[in-house]
A and B are shown apart, each in its own frame.
Chain A
Amino acid sequence: MMGMLLVGIYVFVLAIFVGFEVINKVPSTLHTPLMSGANAISGITIVGALQAAATADVTMSNLLGAFAIALATINVVGGYLVTDRMLRMFGEKR
């Protein structure tokens, strides 16, 4: 168990560095779409939510899981669509 945690921490720290490198020097024009685009990615928690609602029973875990799925899906679907709406306007006229 501790081994897995350690691997997780390695992954976590390295991913933070990747995040810093990737976003550095982004033009200010893109700040708003980037914020909403990154926000959509944080809906990745849907992966955890799916696993929490995998039986047919009416249990607390399924209720919470379904609610979490709904919220995470709002985050994902809403986030990607609205970001695309913004970026489409940047691309259109030229």
Chain B
Amino acid sequence: MSAASTVVAVVYLLSACLFIVGLKQMARIRTARRGNFISAVAMALAVAGTLVEMGFVDYRWILGGVVVGSAVGALAAIRVPMTAMPEMVALLNGAGGAASALVGVAFFYTHVIEAGRAGTVAEVVGSASALTLFLSVLVGAVTASGSLVAFAKLSGRMKGAPILLPGRHALNVVLVVATIAMGIAFTWMAPGMGAALGLIWALFAASLILGVTLVIPIGGADMPVVVSLLNSYSGVAASMTGFVIGNNMLIIAGAMVGAAGLILTQIMCKAMNRSLASVILGGFGGEVSAEAGASEYQNVRSAGVEEAVMVLEAARNVVIVPGYGLAVAQAQHAVRELADLLARRGVHVAYAIHPVAGRMPGHMNVLLAEADVPYEQLWDMDRTNSEIRSTDVVLVLGANDVVNPAAQNTPNSPIYGMPIIEAHQARHVFVIKRSLASGYAGIKNDLFELPNTNMIFGDAKKVLQDLVAELKQL
């Protein structure tokens, strides 16, 4: 081992350690930002180490790629609105997956086609590299096209409703079997370079199609789970690339992302009361037609803004339950203004954040943080439920299924068993909502019929602004 390659090996080791430390710190609120920075330093070290390892080469292609990528990435990161975070993560993820797949194909071109060597791919680069090359193309391409579909669904460029092709399970099985067969043929059986070349591109194409057919039957509401799962895949794809080029640091970083993505996916599924299997099989979580179930409601009391303000002003403590509707109406700032006004009148205000509030887990925290809501006012579900009985007023803003008592009281309800914020236990509940339309579970919300609940119909932002105006006049 030369001195240079020893140094590089140490740099890679340091980089791998920093990735672990960074990820660890990212899992704690106080250290999260520093953790992200440490992880970025690890990435810079890894890149630096690779450049040293490569020695002096021609940098024009490298520079071109880095300049374009940095510009696009930085611009997107600075300009994306916080509400669009789920689709942003989906896009970035797709880019990572596509990169891994392309590295696999490029490796094949460099070492087999352009080197002009005869024999099967396994004979030329070794069966381990050939096999993992096939896997990095498969997993990378599935991640890329799957993420693009998730992006399209999340950003509304594609209908959120599940698209159920006839015989879709059979189709997926055929595609998986076909890609594996092609991978094996590519590794050991392709007699000439031409055949291997055809196979790798056919494999690429089939994997892209597989990514699409795997994600289109999954409903828009389940997309965050899909993004998280694809995030895990992109880590696995990177790890496979590590096997191809024989780089342990890449294997480590990729495997950690794979594991982390899987855990996050699991946590999300639990919070949404869905099994991973049922998400992947699809067909659930489409946008339910707007007025479904509306006629079933009886004894719903609606209230005006004046009445709500009187109750709010007399309260000692108010808990606000924000949901997806708040994000859609872009009403984060309006709700903070209301909370500030109430606080100035001596009302204690807190926000109850359900684990899956917003458009993906933790998204609501980001949105409220953007509106400068103090972190201490954000309560998690357990804290809220332990104090809900002594709460005077709960204000439900665009949340629906996560406050549905049917999850606790109706064993045959589809959401039975899902952890909820027990808004119905509070003395008084106001629900600000456009209509009695159902949430994504497509079921009636028993909370709306309870005697301590009043509905305030209207757009969340508009109603909040009216509440603020009314409160200011008092």
User: Which residues in A have some Cβ–Cβ distance to B below 8 Å?
Assistant: 1-2, 4-5, 7-8, 11-13, 15-20, 22-56, 59-94
Question: Chain B residues with Cβ under 8 A from A54's Cβ?
Answer: 54, 57-58, 61-62
Residues from chain B with a CB closer than 8 A to the CB of A50 are 47, 50-51, 54, 62
Are the C-beta atoms of B228 and A35 separated by less than 8 Å?
A: yes
- A83 near B36: Cβ-Cβ < 8 Å: yes
Q: Of all chain A residues, which has the CB nearest B362?
A: A31
Interface core residue of A47, A70, A92 (most chain B CB under 10 Å):
A47
Of residues B37, B65, B82, B100, which shows the largest number of chain A Cβ atoms within 10 Å of its Cβ?
A: B65
* Min CB–CB distance A24 → chain B (angstroms): 7
Residue interface mask B361-381, A partner, CB < 8 A = 1: 111011001101011101010
For the complex formed, measure the closest distance between the CB of B452 and the CB atoms of chain A, giving whole angstroms. Answer: 28
Q: Could you tell me if A4 and B249 are in contact, using CB atoms closer than 8 angstroms?
A: no
| Further pairs besides A19-B256, A64-B102: 11, Cβ < 8 Å | A8-B128, A15-B255, A34-B32, A38-B257, A39-B231, A40-B36, A49-B65, A65-B102, A67-B65, A71-B69, A82-B80
Q: In the complex the two chains form, is B95's CB within 8 Å of A71's CB?
A: yes
Does B64 lie within 8 Å of A75, measured CB to CB?
Answer: no
Residue of A nearest to B380 (CB): A28
Nearest CB in chain B: distance from A79 CB, A: 5
Question: CB distance B362 to A43 under 8 Å?
Answer: no
Q: Which residues does chain B contribute within 8 Å of A86, judged by CB atoms?
A: 82, 85, 366, 369
| Complex A-B, nearest 9 residue pairs according to Cβ-Cβ distance, in ascending order | A73-B69, A19-B259, A69-B65, A31-B362, A78-B73, A77-B73, A81-B77, A15-B255, A52-B106
Given A1-B126, A74-B72, do A52 and B107 touch, yes or no (CB 8 Å)?
Answer: yes
The number of inter-chain residue pairs (CB within 8 angstroms) is: 398
Q: Tell me the nearest residue of chain A to B128, going by C-beta.
A: A5
What are 20 inter-chain pairs, A to B, with CB distance below 8 A? A12-B239, A13-B255, A18-B259, A22-B256, A23-B27, A32-B85, A33-B362, A34-B264, A34-B362, A38-B260, A39-B96, A41-B256, A44-B238, A45-B238, A48-B103, A61-B107, A64-B103, A68-B106, A82-B92, A93-B369
- Is B267 on the interface with A (CB-CB < 8 A)? yes
Name the prevailing secondary structure of the B interface residues: helix
B241 close to chain A: CB less than 8 A:
yes
Give complex CA distance A54, B54 in Å.
8
A73's contact among B27, B70, B102, B249, by CB below 8 Å, is which?
B70
CB distance from A64 to the nearest CB of B (A): 4
The verdict on A77 contacting B69 (CB below 8 Å), with A19-B260, A36-B92, A64-B106 known, is yes
Residues of A within 8 A of B93 (CB): 39, 42, 75
With A11-B248, A47-B249: A38-B235 Cβ-Cβ less than 8 Å: yes
Q: Which residues of B contact A32 (CB under 8 A)?
A: 85-86, 89, 358, 360-363, 365-366
A31 with B268: in contact, given A19-B258, A68-B103, A68-B106 (CB under 8 Å)? yes
User: Are B362 and A88 in contact (CB-based, < 8 A)?
Assistant: no
Is the CB–CB distance between A87 and B32 below 8 Å? yes
